[in-house]
DNA sequence: GCTTGCGCTGCAATCGTTTGCATCACTCTG
DNA sequence: CAGAGTGATGCAAACGATTGCAGCGCAAGC
């Protein structure tokens, strides 16, 4: 079990190490006589040889690892994506190196340098910001990159995100059908594509449904957190502009709204309907269960990884922008307006 | 920005590449004259040189990566541990390679082979089973291993877990104080140290508190899932043996109980108190918020990583068994018994 | 003044694979 | 039967860093 090398196998099979290398590599296996291949395979099996990927990497300058850059592993939205990525990478013999940036550009930069220093063959990035050209620059220098979850504006990068726009329409339509006319939108940070797409979807759906289109009803959250959601929601409640439902950019933001409701003794959905976005794990267990737009998290991961794997093969390739379909998941947190009036 | 080597730096600084190597390595830096070090540092900075870890690994046969083996990244219990691990590994210049086994021994074996083939310097394992000698064998062959979350029986392996025993005592005491006499214990799979420790804690605390010690009141769950918890809990309810509170081996199992309660129109804690274990993220947001034993997830990760880093340094070392303190977190899911009687 | 010793640096082998090129034994063709 | 072609394998140079060893210059010691 000590570490064997090609030479050990070569000796056992009575051939040269170069021949063993060729026999073991599927791409060059047919350049070795079948008889020799058989002898080598036997020797490999008997000795229990496994190739040393580090030596291979040194020679080929491919590490067979990819960096996975996400905001925060403890945000339940991301583990499913990571597992999706993992499942594809496994098939290709690649391994992920996962880093959490906490949405801090500095941490992100540090981690990315570290990943590149580790010679990752590519990056799967879930932290792109709209103003930021970091990834375009990296791509220009030859780093293979696939964006997931968020896109970067107009950059020629592969990306796979949810169809936020459509999802928002479905949600707004649902609320409109329930009878809501004035919806508070707790938008995400405007420097992310996700926030922008969802906000755009909000605006266009509000208009399409003929609901009140009031600038007061749109508030930007500085971060995708429950705390931020709670703060902005509380402000909006105090602001005096009436609304009967709130559309949160993200389930976490919606959870912040729940907190405020509880603090103030308000009841959801009687006093206020609340909807989230993402359908992250466990939001079906909140009280009440959260109405939200289900985003195919696992598939986003898979698709992003697929794209990167595809890109690694080719020299030049057309960047693709993939939108994955979403579905409206209606649960208990949305209902007909009126609780307010009935009091 | 193309890939520079030691030789490029050496040329720029007018020295030999070996000297550059020595100047860059903190351990050998003092063998190079200060003046030369300065020149080399300057050249490194100007050229933007970064060492190639792959070449380094090949030569030193240390990959500066560690395998992190956990059951499932989408179980909210584990991301905090992983982040704890990450934080320590960062300090040491190590990177984690994370794999999810879904508690399937076959997947585990596959992943571990892959990790070893990738030449990880050590393993942080959260999937140990009591009967299993896999990790002892690996350790005997020289693989450095630290167990977290679960231990392996009597094996001379480093391990860090929560003080399950004490946690269970705290919890039982809490329930006893509320007036409960008959507690259903939904234990975890008996082939895990965690399940065994918590069960042992349950038994001894029940006796210490003078509660009913009835074999009927202990049921083993085959897996740590909500579905399994729901199934066993439903059976127990139907079984006729009375109890007023349920102690679940894990928060997920407790969530399964919530499901059954909801299905049957029972109310927690009025009809039944329910307690979990772990205090995983978001259980404070369940309805009702879950009473549970808070396990220091992040710290378990940190401590496990510390141990492994320490072990990598030494030749032989005394394995340590660390128990991290836990705290009882009382929330809304436990209350005085009586709901049943009052009906 | 010559040796000894020491501090600094160069030299070159090495880690384990991959891969272009050379070589060799054949077979086939005309 | 000579020459070309072909298929299989050996050879050896990389890949980029580390490191034991050797060599060099120089100061100190006698």
CA distance A249 to A255: 11
Determine, for residues B86 and A99 on separate chains, whether the beta-carbon distance falls below 8 Å. yes
B283 alpha carbon, distance to own chain's centre? 18
* Residue A171 reports pLDDT greater than 90: yes
* CA→C1' distance for A35 and D10 (Å): 17
Instruction: List CB contacts (< 8 A) between B230 and chain A.
Output: none
Instruction: List CB contacts (< 8 A) between A118 and chain B.
Output: 53, 95
Q: What is the CATH number of the domain that holds B13?
A: 1.10.260
Does residue B58 form part of some domain?
no
Ordered alpha helix ranges (H), chain B: 6-13, 17-24, 34-47, 53-60, 78-92, 105-117, 134-140, 164-178, 193-208, 226-239, 251-263, 297-313, 339-342
Does residue A193 form part of some domain?
yes
Residue whose token pair is 């979807």: A201
Determine, for residues A76 and B1 on separate chains, whether the beta-carbon distance falls below 8 Å. no
**One domain for residues A196 and A338:** yes
Under the banding of pLDDT at 50, 70 and 90, the label for residue A44 is very high
For chain B, the domain total comes to: 3
Least confident of A37-46, A153-162, A289-298, A303-312: A153-162
**Residue B106 touches chain A, beta carbons under 8 Å:** no
Q: Is the CB of B57 under 7 A from strand C?
A: no
According to the model, what pLDDT value does residue B342 have? Answer: 41
CA distance A293 to A289: 13
Q: What is the CATH number of the domain that holds B233?
A: 3.40.50.2300
Under the banding of pLDDT at 50, 70 and 90, the label for residue A340 is very low
Does residue A58 form part of some domain?
no
Under the banding of pLDDT at 50, 70 and 90, the label for residue A339 is low
**One domain for residues A175 and A281:** yes
**Residue B289 touches chain A, beta carbons under 8 Å:** no
Nucleotide nearest to B3 in CA–C1' terms: D16
| Residue numbers in A 8-47, CB below 7 Å of strand C | 17-18, 21-22, 24-25, 28
Determine, for residues A255 and B95 on separate chains, whether the beta-carbon distance falls below 8 Å. no
DSSP-based three-state secondary structure for A323: strand
DSSP state letters, B187-201: E--TTSHHHHHHHHH
**Residue A51 touches chain B, beta carbons under 8 Å:** yes
Q: Is the CB of B15 under 7 A from strand C?
A: yes
Q: In terms of CA atoms, which chain A residue is nearest residue B111? A: A90
Does residue A57 form part of some domain?
no
**Residue B96 touches chain A, beta carbons under 8 Å:** yes
According to the model, what pLDDT value does residue A284 have? Answer: 95
Determine, for residues B79 and A79 on separate chains, whether the beta-carbon distance falls below 8 Å. yes
Condensed to tens digits (0 to 9), the pLDDT of residues A76-130 reads 999 999 999 999 999 999 999 999 999 999 999 999 999 999 999 999 999 999 9
- Smallest Cα–Cα separation from B5: which of B24, B31, B28, B26? B24
Residue A325 half-sphere exposure toward CB, CA atoms < 13 A: 1
**One domain for residues B106 and B236:** no
Q: What is the mean pLDDT of residues A174-198?
A: 96
Does residue B1 form part of some domain?
no
Determine, for residues A73 and B50 on separate chains, whether the beta-carbon distance falls below 8 Å. no
* CA→C1' distance for A15 and C2 (Å): 58
Nucleotide nearest to B31 in CA–C1' terms: C8
**One domain for residues A118 and A190:** no
CA distance A107 to A112: 8
**One domain for residues B195 and B85:** no
Q: Is the CB of B22 under 7 A from strand C?
A: yes
* The length of chain B, given as a count of residues: 343
* CA→C1' distance for B33 and C2 (Å): 28
According to the model, what pLDDT value does residue B40 have? Answer: 93
Determine, for residues B86 and A100 on separate chains, whether the beta-carbon distance falls below 8 Å. yes
Task: Please report residues contacting nucleic strand D, using a CB cutoff of 7 A.
Answer: A 10, 14-19, 22, 30-33, 35-36, 55, 58-59, 61; B 3-7, 17-18, 21-22, 24-25, 28, 49, 51-52, 55-56, 58-60
Q: Is the Cα dihedral B126, B62, A60, A126 positive or negative?
A: positive
State the DSSP code for B213: -
**One domain for residues A172 and A284:** yes
**One domain for residues A218 and A336:** yes
According to the model, what pLDDT value does residue B46 have? Answer: 93
Mean model confidence pLDDT for chain A: 94
**One domain for residues B158 and B251:** no
According to the model, what pLDDT value does residue B189 have? Answer: 96
Determine, for residues B51 and A285 on separate chains, whether the beta-carbon distance falls below 8 Å. no
| CA of A257 vs chain B CAs: smallest distance (Å) | 12
Question: Which one of A58, A98, A281 has the shortest CB-CB distance to B98?
Answer: A98
In whole angstroms, how far apart are CA B127 and each of A63, B102, B258? 27, 9, 26
In whole angstroms, how far apart are CA B124 and each of A110, B99, B138, B292? 24, 11, 12, 26
**Residue B95 touches chain A, beta carbons under 8 Å:** yes
Percent of chain A with pLDDT over 70: 98
Q: Domain residues for A243?
A: 164-295+329-342
Does residue B57 form part of some domain?
no
Q: In terms of CA atoms, which chain A residue is nearest residue B258? A: A285
Segment holding A39, helix H or strand E: helix A34-47
Q: Is the CB of A58 under 7 A from strand C?
A: yes
Determine, for residues A52 and B282 on separate chains, whether the beta-carbon distance falls below 8 Å. no
Condensed to tens digits (0 to 9), the pLDDT of residues B132-171 reads 999 999 998 889 999 999 998 777 899 999 999 999 999 9
**Residue B58 touches chain A, beta carbons under 8 Å:** yes
Where does residue A240 rank: exposed (0-12), middle (13-18), buried (19+ CB within 10 A)?
Answer: exposed
**One domain for residues A214 and A75:** no
Question: Which one of A53, A79, A113 has the shortest CB-CB distance to B118?
Answer: A53
Q: Is the CB of B63 under 7 A from strand C?
A: no
**One domain for residues A290 and A248:** yes
According to the model, what pLDDT value does residue A31 have? Answer: 87
* Residue A341 reports pLDDT greater than 70: no
- Number of A–B residue contacts, CB under 8 Å: 86
Does residue B226 form part of some domain?
yes
| CA of A284 vs chain B CAs: smallest distance (Å) | 10
Does residue A304 form part of some domain?
yes
| CA of A206 vs chain B CAs: smallest distance (Å) | 31
Question: Which one of B58, B86, B100 has the shortest CB-CB distance to A55?
Answer: B58
Q: Strand A122-125's sheet: what is its strand order?
A: A95-100, A65-70, A122-125, A144-148, A158-162, A321-324
* Ordered per-residue pLDDT tens for chain B, 343 residues: 458 999 999 999 999 999 999 999 998 998 899 999 999 999 999 999 999 999 999 999 999 999 999 999 999 999 999 999 999 999 999 999 999 999 999 999 999 999 999 999 999 999 999 989 999 999 988 899 999 999 987 778 999 999 999 999 999 999 999 999 999 999 999 999 999 999 999 999 999 999 999 999 999 999 999 999 999 999 999 998 999 999 999 999 999 999 999 999 999 999 999 999 999 999 999 999 999 999 999 999 999 999 999 999 877 778 999 999 999 999 999 999 875 444 3
* CA→C1' distance for B46 and C29 (Å): 64
**One domain for residues A184 and A266:** yes
| CA of B5 vs chain A CAs: smallest distance (Å) | 13
Segment holding A205, helix H or strand E: helix A193-208
Q: Which nucleotides of D are covered by protein (CB under 7 A)?
A: 7-12, 14-20
* CA→C1' distance for B3 and D15 (Å): 12
**Residue B54 touches chain A, beta carbons under 8 Å:** yes
**One domain for residues A124 and A27:** no
According to the model, what pLDDT value does residue B112 have? Answer: 95
According to the model, what pLDDT value does residue A313 have? Answer: 83
According to the model, what pLDDT value does residue A332 have? Answer: 96
According to the model, what pLDDT value does residue A168 have? Answer: 97
């Amino acid at each position: 079990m000590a570490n064997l090398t090609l030479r050990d196998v070569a000796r056992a099979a009575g051939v040269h190490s170069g021949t063993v290398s060729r026999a073991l590599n599927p791409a060059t296996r047919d350049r070795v006589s079948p008889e020799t291949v058989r002898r080598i395979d036997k020797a490999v099996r008997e000795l229990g040889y496994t190739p040393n990927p580090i030596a291979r990497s040194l020679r080929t300058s491919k590490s067979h690892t990819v960096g996975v850059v996400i905001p925060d592993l403890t945000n339940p939205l991301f583990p499913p994506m990571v597992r999706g990525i993992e499942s594809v990478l496994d098939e290709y013999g690649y391994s992920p190196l996962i880093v959490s940036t906490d949405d801090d550009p500095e941490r992100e930069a540090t981690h990315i340098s570290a990943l590149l220093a580790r010679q990752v063959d590519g990056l799967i990035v879930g932290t792109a910001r709209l103003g930021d050209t970091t990834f375009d620059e990296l791509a220009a220098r030859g780093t293979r990159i696939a964006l997931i979850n968020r896109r970067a504006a107009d950059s020629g990068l592969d990306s796979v995100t949810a169809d936020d726009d459509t999802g928002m329409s479905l949600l707004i339509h649902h609320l409109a059908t329930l009878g809501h006319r004035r919806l508070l939108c707790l938008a995400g940070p405007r420097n992310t594509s996700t926030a922008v797409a969802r906000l755009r979807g909000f605006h266009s759906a509000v208009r399409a449904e003929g609901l009140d289109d009031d600038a007061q009803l749109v508030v930007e959250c500085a971060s995708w957190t429950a705390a931020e959601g709670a703060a902005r929601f509380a402000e909006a409640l105090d602001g005096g502009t009436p609304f009967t439902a709130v559309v949160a950019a993200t389930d976490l933001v919606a959870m912040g709204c729940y907190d405020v409701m509880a603090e103030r003794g308000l009841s959801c959905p009687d006093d206020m309907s609340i909807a989230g976005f993402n359908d992250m794990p466990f939001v079906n267990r909140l009280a009440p269960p959260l109405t939200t737009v289900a985003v195919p998290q696992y598939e986003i991961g898979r698709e992003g990884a697929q794209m990167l794997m595809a890109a690694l093969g080719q020299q030049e390739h057309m960047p693709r922008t993939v939108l994955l379909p979403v579905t409206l998941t209606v649960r208990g947190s949305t209902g007909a307006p009126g609780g307010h009036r009935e009091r």
